[in-house]
Structure 1
């Protein structure tokens, strides 16, 4: 998808408004403050006192704040929006921004469900504005190095991630039906797509809650995805596993015809293979700061970035397929998830132009695929 470019550089920084003044919003505020390519024009939050407090805490007492991100952008002359609201607000906030002529960099997940995500992809098409999702693990240099190793292993049989933590969050996560799958697993699912340069075909999931769990919903899950080309991706994780916890990135094993690559999630990956060691391709980007750099670069050059909304939706579809499988006890086809979401998006869409764009999609998978949109740095 092509999108409108904006001339910007350290000499002429991109002016942005941040929507959302909670914990993650403040992390983005610090990231913007550290970037020479971006300048903060304002902070919006439904709780304007929270927005003012965030500005004051950042040493910006005169920074404009407000409750409406688009109105604040117009008032301040901002050129783009960083959407760090709760997932249920991603669709209305991002869609309003796109139709106001503001490109958007949004936090993951792209939306609360796939149907909303498809609506947002169509809105980006209609408006010609960039909507990129900050799937921050994409910008981990060690993951990029693991991807380089994976490409040298020939045909890949299995990729596996083990994720075991003991987290007492309190609040909404403790009450979610599938806290691990919905709140955390998308990072690993998206990373698997990135590693394999392949999309999921089917998902089979068993989720459960051990008797000592402090979560109301299933805190444990094992998911097997069949990927294009026949590779299996296996995710095995728990939010309530005391002792010997893994990295927040999980621990990874890539098993291929020429050997194995291993990553503990925190240090450089290791190659045990029949190929010469050599240098694994890395990345010059890291974390949400890397996502911001890539967003600005895309707006400057017009090159579609990794995380562009069409490219990102399939990671959320993996979550939805896993949850459906955990509920049904059956293998779920990703194409079925996409088709149901497309029908729902068509039925719920209130904008005629977006609905017409959705109606013109003959294959959702093909629309989401497009050209490869992976920036490795």
Structure 2
């Protein structure tokens, strides 16, 4: 049995607790929130009558001595939660983003390494079935190595609340899902970025609802991202729409169920090489999916086996570096080198 304390009992905690109660061998032994009544309400809602309730994480960890901490707090509190978890010899699974700044991200990842604890991030777009299928298809070499990766994200949600007041709202709150998926699908190592943000007249956000970025992902791979959170009409999937150009063909994904690929033939008609459709194989039985549920299961397996989970912080910091690199570029108006390591 793996005993867990969950800290942060706001709206997002429901997704975590919904997943956790589907997993045998996992017990929520404590709930922590600055609002004790909110934590008590979550305990009642999920039948956690035996869970210790508190407003101080250190005190609850001292009392329960769990194996792991689930971090669902606001990003600004993430460093404090992480250092407390590692000081109590706990493994840590945290909601995205890994941290609220590059320095704090490096501090958290380095603290996990020094403590010898598993640290992972809920970067759940990796656990989407078609993301898995596309990576496996590209790895097969059926259309050659990817060279150009293009993602479009255009939706217009009226969230209300903090998102409509925050700076860099698209890059900081949403774009990491697309950035991480791009890096994962093509095996990219981000090296640099040029990004521009703007606020269209029709926007209801304070700053940064629209952005366009060009990333060097190394190895001859370039990734372009175009996005907006105030683009009414022709809404894309939350997973973005994709075109991946490779050496001998291309793949397109609508962000929903349709994934198609074409491969070039050694026959030319006029100006153009002929192409033919090529099947993208279905999900492999070995591919892990399931959003929060899949990631929590992966995290538990890592604890039980002493292995590293796929969304470990030492890897996820590279996707977060893409976000902060894009923000720095947008603020400075120049191309920015991306620093990825935790040293």
Q: Does 1:230 align with 2:220?
A: yes
1:260 to 241, 244, 250: 250
Does residue 287 (structure 1) correspond to residue 296 (structure 2)? The answer is no
Q: Choose the corresponding residue for 2:334, options 322, 330, 334.
A: 330
Rounded Cα–Cα distance in structure 2 between residues aligned with 1:193 and 1:317: 12
Structure 1 stretch displaced more, 284-293 or 54-63: 54-63
Structure 1 length-normalised TM: 0.83
Among candidates 73, 92, 97, match of residue 85 of structure 2: 97
For residue 277 of structure 1, what is the aligned residue in structure 2? 279
1:87 corresponds to: 75
Whether the 8 Å contact between 1:162 and 1:235 is mirrored in structure 2 is yes
2:102 is the alignment partner of 1:114: yes
Q: In the TM superposition, what whole-angstrom CA distance separates every residue of 1:275-327 from its partner, at most 9, and x where no partner exists?
A: 85362554232201111011011111122111111111111111111011111
Q: Does 1:169 align with 2:159?
A: yes
Residues 149 and 271 of structure 1 are in contact (CA less than 8 Å); yes or no, is this contact kept in structure 2? no
1:132/1:295 contact within 8 Å kept: yes
CA distance in 1, matches of 2:36, 2:15: 18
Structure 2 residue 315 is the aligned partner of structure 1 residue 311:
yes
Q: Which shows bigger deviation, 30-39 or 18-27?
A: 30-39
1:167-217 CA-partner distances (Å, limit 9, x unpaired): 111111111121001100000111111011121111011111110100010
The verdict on how the C-alpha distance between 1:90 and 1:178 changes in structure 2, with shifts beyond 3 A counting, is same
- 1:302 equivalenced with 2:290 (yes/no): no
Please report how far the alpha carbon of residue 53 of structure 1 lies from its aligned counterpart in structure 2 after TM superposition.
0.9
Say whether the 8 Å CA contact 2:122–2:311 is kept in structure 1: yes
Alpha-carbon distance in structure 2 between the residues aligned to 1:25 and 1:127: 26
User: 1:154 corresponds to which residue?
Assistant: 144
Unaligned runs of 5+ in 1: 1-12, 339-363, 368-377
TM-score (norm 2): 0.91
Q: Describe how 1:125-136 pairs up with structure 2 within 5 A.
A: 125-136=113-124
Q: CA deviation at 1:59?
A: 3.1
Match status 1:204 vs 2:216: no
Task: Show the counterpart of 2:59.
Answer: 71
Shift of 1:263: 1.4
TM-superposed CA distance for 1:15, in Å, is 1.0
The 10-residue stretch of structure 1 (141-150 or 70-79) with the greater mean CA deviation from structure 2: 70-79
TM superposition shift of 1:20 = 0.6
Residues 276/174 of structure 1: CA separation in 2 closer, same or farther (3 Å cut): closer
Distance in 1 (alpha carbons) for counterparts of 2:106 and 2:312: 12
| Residue 187 of structure 1, aligned match among 177, 181, 206 | 177
Structure richer in helix, relative to its length:
1
Determine the structure 1 residue equivalent to 2:267. none
How far apart in 1 are the matches of 2:56 and 2:46? 20
Structure (1/2) with the larger strand percentage: 2
Asked whether the equivalents of residues 134 and 280 of structure 2 are also in contact (C-alpha less than 8 Å), the reply is: no
Provide the rounded CA distance (Å) in 2 between the counterparts of 1:63 and 1:302.
27
8 Å contact kept, 2:188–2:221: no
Please list every run of 5 or more consecutive structure 2 residues that lacks an aligned counterpart in the other structure.
265-276
CA distances 1:129-180 after superposition (whole Å, capped 9, x unpaired) = 1111111111112110011122223122211111111111111111112100
- Cα distance in 1 between the residues matched to 2:243 and 2:137: 11
Deviation at 1:71, TM superposition (A): 2.5
Aligned partners of 1:333 and 1:174: how far apart in 2? 29
Q: Given the alignment, which residue of 40, 45, 60 partners 2:48?
A: 60
| 2:33 equivalent to 1:31 | no
**Residue correspondences, number:** 327
CA RMSD across the alignment: 1.6
The change in CA–CA distance for 1:190 and 1:95 in structure 2 (over 3 A counts) is same
| Residues 106 and 132 in structure 1, CA contact (< 8 A), matched pair in contact too | yes
